[in-house]
């Protein structure tokens, strides 16, 4: 019996089948290849990414039409170090316009790849910047306003890892694909013939119950070391994951979206809403097998229990080092007394502060280098909130401190229904009053429908003079 046949018949109304108990873990997990740059005489690293269509064998014998970077599905992993000068050459061979946004990167707005940096079909775009941020698991994906959900869903997403000489000495597992393994979690709706269904569901949009890890359905991973670092990305359009091991073993969270925690946090379950990343270290014994799964929650976007991946440990494992008790040396993000405060109210599935996204409207003007307090109030069902360019710390959720594992530097946060989240947001120094950055719900249907706003970063003292309307060529 195929995994799909097992899925059929356990449907729940509206949300499609729930659970995927029919998995047999027969497919070896693939890990996206590292993208090799060409390095010029001055040390600049140039990476080339081509957006293209292709076909992918997700289900046996039923090739699926997909999109990818430099291949049919997903994209290679870009890995850089703090201080690197990078040039990204992005070629669009999709046959329709798109963009590529560097989610988590701190860079000038004109290089950010948001909805203003459209790449016409057949054209290329070549942003460049200097990597100046702590070690982190970032990622890249399209961001064309109104079509982000479909472009990501069809397969355009990849990881963008930053190393930092300051943290390389910590002895964390760091052999890519061996003991430092990315897990890109995405849910799909695969029709019986293997095609990706693109019918959005009410409220959440594209939410399915076939979970792929790194694009692989029904996967296993062969463990060869006692400690394995997993860089988990929720790359789904809307689905939220409550991730745990089936035997409820504990594991160590070492990093959040924008960098390492200051101290490790030991947990037995973590939650990731769309766009969020976590770095964890899990321990394995020789010959053991254990399943990583996502358990059902009550947020509407985390229904059903889903097996994600089976870890299969080898007869002999290479011993790893214990996780050090001190991790990031970067001071935690603090807002000083009198910090500027802004309020954002999420309502319905398409509005922030009562307005839909308008590409020509600047909603907020922020002075360079500021640390502000942003209140994100959700008046309805589950949403989340992502801010481009920044790193933030979650101060509280409904007045309560978040769990220790969510107190690291972040750029995306879950905002439960009828809740308020307060963030201490640290802005960068790249000023440009005419090129906006985005903030939005990362449930991609909501973002596409208009639950998004724009801010510019400007020289302190010039805020009042900044035009609030952009001319249409932007």
The least CB distance from residue 438 to ligand C2O, in Å, is 5
109 phi/psi in degrees, rounded to 5: -60, -35
Rule CB under 6 A: say whether 106 interacts with ligand C2O. no
Minimum CB distance to Cu ion smaller for 116 or for 446: 446
By CB under 6 A, is residue 306 in contact with ligand C2O? no
By DSSP bridging, strand 128-130 and strand 180-188 are unpaired
Give the chain's end-to-end CA distance (angstroms, integer). Answer: 53
Instruction: Tokens 């910590």: give the residue.
Output: 170
**SS3 state of residue 14:** coil
* Among residues 443, 444, 457, 470, the one that binds Cu ion under rule CB under 5 A: 443
Binding part of the chain for ligand C2O, among 169-177, 211-219, 345-353, 436-444 by CB under 6 A, reads 436-444
**CA proximity to 152, closest of 195, 105, 101, 199:** 101
383 binds ligand C2O (CB under 6 A): no
Binds ligand C2O by CB under 6 A, chosen from 200, 259, 275, 450: 275
For position 386 contacting ligand C2O by CB under 6 A, the verdict is: yes
List the single partner that 383 binds among Cu ion, ligand C2O, none, CB under 5 to 8 Å by kind.
Cu ion
Tell the smallest beta-carbon distance from residue 429 to ligand C2O (Å): 20
DSSP letters spanning 402-423? PPGGG-S-BSEEEE-TTEEEEE
Distance, CA of 16 to CA of 197 (rounded, Å) = 12
Per rule CB under 5 A, count of chain residues that contact Cu ion? 6
The dihedrals phi and psi of 469, each to the nearest 5 degrees, come to -125, 135
Other Cβ atoms closer than 10 A to 354: 8
Question: Considering only CA atoms, which of 388, 382, 423 is closest in space to residue 271?
Answer: 382
Q: Which is nearer to ligand C2O, 47 or 140 (CB)?
A: 140
Question: Which residue lies nearer to ligand C2O by CB, 58 or 376?
Answer: 376
- Give min distance, CB of 139 to ligand C2O, in A: 7
Q: How far is the CB of 165 from ligand C2O (least distance, A)?
A: 27
136 binds ligand C2O (CB under 6 A): no
Cα-based distances in Å from 199 to 153, 196, 304: 11, 9, 20
CB of 275 to ligand C2O, least distance (A): 5
Sheet holding 210-213, edge to edge: 216-217, 210-213, 180-188, 227-234, 277-283, 251-256, 259-267
Nearest CA-CA partner of 184 in 245, 254, 236, 219: 236
The residue length of the chain stands at: 474
Residue 70 and residue 91: Cα distance in Å, rounded? Answer: 10
103 part of the interface to ligand C2O, by CB under 6 A = yes
Residue with tokens 């290089």: 111
Contact partner at residue 441 from Cu ion, ligand C2O, none, CB < 5 to 8 Å by partner kind:
Cu ion
275 binds, among Cu ion, ligand C2O, none (CB under 5 to 8 A by kind): ligand C2O
Q: Is 165 exposed, middle or buried (0-12, 13-18, 19+ CB in 10 A)?
A: exposed
Q: Which of Cu ion, ligand C2O, none does residue 440 bind to, with CB < 5 to 8 Å depending on kind?
A: ligand C2O
Question: In terms of CB distance, is 3 or 142 closer to ligand C2O?
Answer: 142
Shortest CA distance to 131 belongs to which of 175, 186, 178, 88?
A: 88
Q: Are 15 and 204 in contact (CB under 8 A)?
A: no
Using CB under 6 A as the binding rule, whether residue 143 contacts ligand C2O is answered as yes
- Cα–Cα distance for residue pair 335/395, rounded to 1 Å: 10
Q: How far is the CB of 374 from Cu ion (least distance, A)?
A: 15
State both tokens at 70: 């430099």
> Given the rule CB under 5 A, which of 53-61, 189-197, 213-221, 385-393 is the region that contacts Cu ion?
385-393
151 binds ligand C2O (CB under 6 A): no
The CA-atom distances, in angstroms, between 45 and each of 42, 323, 385 are 9, 31, 32
When binding is defined by CB under 6 A, the residue of 29, 438, 457, 470 that contacts ligand C2O is: 438
Which range, of 53-61, 310-318, 344-352, 434-442, touches ligand C2O by CB under 6 A? 434-442
- Looking at the Cβ atoms of 143 and 310, the one nearer to ligand C2O is 143
d(CA 285, CA 164) in angstroms, rounded, equals: 30
Cβ neighbours of residue 400 closer than 8 Å, sequence gap 6 or more: none
388 binds ligand C2O (CB under 6 A): yes
Q: Closer to ligand C2O by CB, 142 or 208: give it.
A: 142
Cβ neighbours of 36 (radius 10 Å): 11
Q: Does 116 bind Cu ion (CB under 5 A)?
A: no
Size of the site for ligand C2O (CB under 6 A): 10
Contact call for residue 103 and Cu ion (CB under 5 A): yes
Please state the closest distance from residue 461 (CB atom) to Cu ion, in A.
27
Choices 57-65, 75-83, 304-312, 435-443 (CB under 6 A): range interacting with ligand C2O = 435-443
CB of 446 to Cu ion, least distance (A): 3
Look at residue 143 and give the partner it binds from Cu ion, ligand C2O, none, a contact being a CB closer than 5 to 8 Å depending on partner kind.
ligand C2O
Residues at the contact surface with Cu ion, assessed by CB under 5 A: 103, 383, 388, 441, 443, 446
Using CB under 6 A as the criterion, which residues of the chain lie in contact with ligand C2O when the complex forms? 101, 103, 141, 143, 275, 386, 388, 438, 440, 442
């Amino acid at each position: 019996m195929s995994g799909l046949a097992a899925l059929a018949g356990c449907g729940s109304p509206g949300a499609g089948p729930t659970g995927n108990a029919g998995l047999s873990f027969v497919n070896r997990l693939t890990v996206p290849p590292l993208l090799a740059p060409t390095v010029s005489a001055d040390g600049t690293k140039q990476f080339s990414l081509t957006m293209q269509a292709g076909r992918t064998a997700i289900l046996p014998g039923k090739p699926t039409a997909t999109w990818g970077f430099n291949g049919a599905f997903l994209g290679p992993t870009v890995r850089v170090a703090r201080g690197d000068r990078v040039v990204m050459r992005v070629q669009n061979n999709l046959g329709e316009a798109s963009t590529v946004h560097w989610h988590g990167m701190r860079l000038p707005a004109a290089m950010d790849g948001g909805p203003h940096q459209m790449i016409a079909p057949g054209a290329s775009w070549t942003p460049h910047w200097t990597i100046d941020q702590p070690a982190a698991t970032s990622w890249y994906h399209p961001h064309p306003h109104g079509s982000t959900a479909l472009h990501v869903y069809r397969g355009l997403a990849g990881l963008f890892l930053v190393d930092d000489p300051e943290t390389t000495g910590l002895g964390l597992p760091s052999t890519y694909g061996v003991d430092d393994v990315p897990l890109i979690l995405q849910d799909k709706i695969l029709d019986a013939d293997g095609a990706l269904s693109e019918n959005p569901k009410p409220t959440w949009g594209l939410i399915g119950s076939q979970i792929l890890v790194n694009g692989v359905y029904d996967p296993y991973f062969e463990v060869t070391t006692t400690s394995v670092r997993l860089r988990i990305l929720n790359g789904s359009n809307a689905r939220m994951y409550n991730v745990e091991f089936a035997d409820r073993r504990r594991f160590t969270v070492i990093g959040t979206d924008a960098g390492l925690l200051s101290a490790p946090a030991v947990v037995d379950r973590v939650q990731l809403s769309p766009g969020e990343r976590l770095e964890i270290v899990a321990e394995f014994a020789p010959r053991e097998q254990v399943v990583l799964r996502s358990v059902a929650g009550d947020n509407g976007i985390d229904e059903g229990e889903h097996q994600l991946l089976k870890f299969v440990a080898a007869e002999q494992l290479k011993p790893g080092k214990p996780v050090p008790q001190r991790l990031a040396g970067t001071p935690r993000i603090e807002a000083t007394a009198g910090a500027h405060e802004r309020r954002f109210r999420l309502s319905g599935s398409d509005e922030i502060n009562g307005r839909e996204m308008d590409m020509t409207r600047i909603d907020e003007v922020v002075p360079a280098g500021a640390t502000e307090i942003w209140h994100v109030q959700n008046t309805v069902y589950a949403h989340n909130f992502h801010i481009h360019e920044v790193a933030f710390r979650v101060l509280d959720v409904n007045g309560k401190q978040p769990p220790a594992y969510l107190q690291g530097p972040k750029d995306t946060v879950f905002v439960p229904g009828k809740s308020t989240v307060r963030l201490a947001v640290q802005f960068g120094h790249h000023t440009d009053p005419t090129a906006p950055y985005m903030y939005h719900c990362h449930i991609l249907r909501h973002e596409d429908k208009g639950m998004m706003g724009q801010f510019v970063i400007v020289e302190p003292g010039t805020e009042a003079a900044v035009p609030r309307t952009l001319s249409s060529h932007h």
